[in-house]
Chains A and B, each alone.
Chain A
């Protein structure tokens, strides 16, 4: 039996505040509960807990807030036990006679590796199979389940999901899928980095409805096989995200567009405090709001230096193009990427010679933009080059399901 480890750099709480905390669902046990779900007296707040240490007097648990979306992701094997446990803040609780005795607020960094589950370890397969959430309806096995903390309990603005965040989330989700689809297409993609029409068409996502009782968007992929393959690519990155050795290798195998889209995705989750479980018939991946910031920094460290820019080629039209009266070389632009339905706003790279530019949908261009996302999520876009796009360069995606 180990003596319990010394708690350092942690804020002590009165156990009175947690008197109602109870272990309500044991997920793994061995000579007593080892991993489980804890709930407060109101059953409104759930904690995910792992037994970290014990002696003859007490059991020491590490707990972190969780929610039903994250638990479904855990049961689907879309997130590791460690990732569910290690949020920005964790509780360390000594339990004796099934009651919380001492409670500290701590951080993952202050907990020794010996008291944590191994990296990447999923809930055991037998447990996952028993807990696996059912696919809701036949024929609708593709879904995006959105969790928002703190959600649903009160109708205060901070407890609800802003339409703006929802809109950005779904837009960046499409961008991520298209980028992953281009990775799947591999050498079949164009040399200039633009999204091939077939990829843009086949990675389109459509919402077929929202399920009752939870925030789940039912998705109809344009091409189910492409959806699954692109999902696998994204899963690769997600599962590598907490591994500083593996992440650069995985990222180096991907196109920069995908890294950029993944970074944008993480930023939306972080800003909106969103957790998203994406599921299809053969797989799932999940990124929680708590992990998004940590992963984004890891991606940034792995891929970008301070002055590294990603070069992307996009097609579409200018929304605006302005020139400073004082300095003609200081030019700003807004460009609409029709393939990914995304706007880029920024400056023209100094000393770049450009032809006269027509603003509006009547003139289509193919442009090269350098983009950089810093660790704080600020995006910088520099227009590097452009050419007028011909009709064949334009992606003419047919409307879905015969809609005109």
Chain B
């Protein structure tokens, strides 16, 4: 793949072109290269760009209205210490349909009392432990989704494989 260097008009054309083929892998790579080229005003080869988000994330995910992670989040986990299997998203497990971007993220709660309230209600989570992660902006994006108190966490690619190490058992 050749390097691209685009002026503002070229960038608009390229975005329009990439939106038409967002579903395929290579198109995402091209789009990523374009964005970096525009932001950094330099010529970048997409092949050398480190992927910001894990490969299984759909296009445009996380959503643009997600916020940078900053603060503590809680997650129900089956293992103590927390294991990579505790960090498998709904999408990776291949469960259900729809809302792919949300399914690619991890369910978290931002309040321990709320987490406890939720846990005793849910037969599928009741035997689990509650783990806490202290996140900073570099770790990813987060957005309140579904019912109040529930947040979807998207961990950046560089932390994804080790996401379990961010979490420590608290309850």
* Chain A positions near chain B (C-beta within 8 angstroms): 26-32, 34-35, 50-54, 56, 59, 81, 97-98, 114-118, 121-127, 129-130
Contacts and interface: CB of A to CB of B under 8 A. Distances in A.
Nearest to A26: B146
30 contacts: A26-B146, A26-B147, A28-B147, A28-B150, A30-B118, A30-B150, A31-B89, A32-B96, A32-B107, A34-B121, A52-B124, A53-B123, A54-B95, A54-B124, A56-B93, A56-B94, A97-B97, A98-B96, A114-B123, A115-B123, A117-B120, A117-B123, A118-B126, A122-B117, A124-B114, A124-B117, A124-B149, A125-B114, A127-B149, A130-B148
Interface residues of B, number: 29
A127 B147 contact: yes
Given A124-B149, A130-B148, A28 B123 contact: no
A64 B1 CA distance: 57
Nearest to A56: B93
B98 A29 contact: no
B98 A98 contact: yes
Given A27-B147, A124-B149, A126-B149, A116 B96 contact: no
B24 interface: no
Contacts of B60: none
Nearest to B150: A29
B146 A52 contact: no
B53 interface: no
Given A26-B146, A118-B126, A129-B148, A31 B90 contact: yes
A124 B97 contact: no
Contacts of A32: 90, 95-96, 103, 107
A233 to B, nearest CB: 26
Contacts of B107: 29-32
B41 interface: no
Given A30-B107, A97-B97, A51 B123 contact: yes
Nearest to B78: A1
Interface string B80-110: 0000000001100111111000010011010
Given A126-B148, A126-B149, A117 B121 contact: yes
B125 interface: yes
B171 to A, nearest CB: 15
A298 B114 CA distance: 32
Most buried by A among B95, B121, B124, B146: B121
**What are the 7 tightest A-B residue pairs by CB atom distance, in nearest-first order?**
A126-B148, A126-B149, A118-B120, A124-B117, A30-B107, A29-B146, A117-B121
B170 interface: no
A126 B121 contact: no
B76 interface: yes
A62 B126 CA distance: 16
B93 to A, nearest CB: 7
B121 A121 contact: yes
A99 to B, nearest CB: 9
Contacts of B98: 98
Nearest to A129: B148
B76 A30 contact: yes
A56 B88 CA distance: 13
Contacts of A56: 93-95
Contacts of A51: 122-124
Contacts of B111: 126
Nearest to B120: A118
Contacts of A52: 123-124
A126 B114 contact: yes
Given A51-B124, A52-B123, A124-B117, 11 more contacts: A30-B118, A30-B122, A31-B107, A32-B107, A51-B122, A53-B123, A59-B96, A98-B98, A123-B121, A124-B118, A130-B148
Interface in B118-143: 118, 120-126
Contacts of B96: 32, 59, 97-98
A392 B59 CA distance: 83
B94 to A, nearest CB: 8
A123 B114 CA distance: 10
B151 to A, nearest CB: 11
A81 B121 contact: yes
A97 B97 CA distance: 6
A6 to B, nearest CB: 16
Contact of B147 (A29, A81, A115): A29
Most buried by A among B94, B95, B103, B114: B95
A238 B22 CA distance: 56
Given A28-B118, A124-B114, A125-B117, A130 B124 contact: no
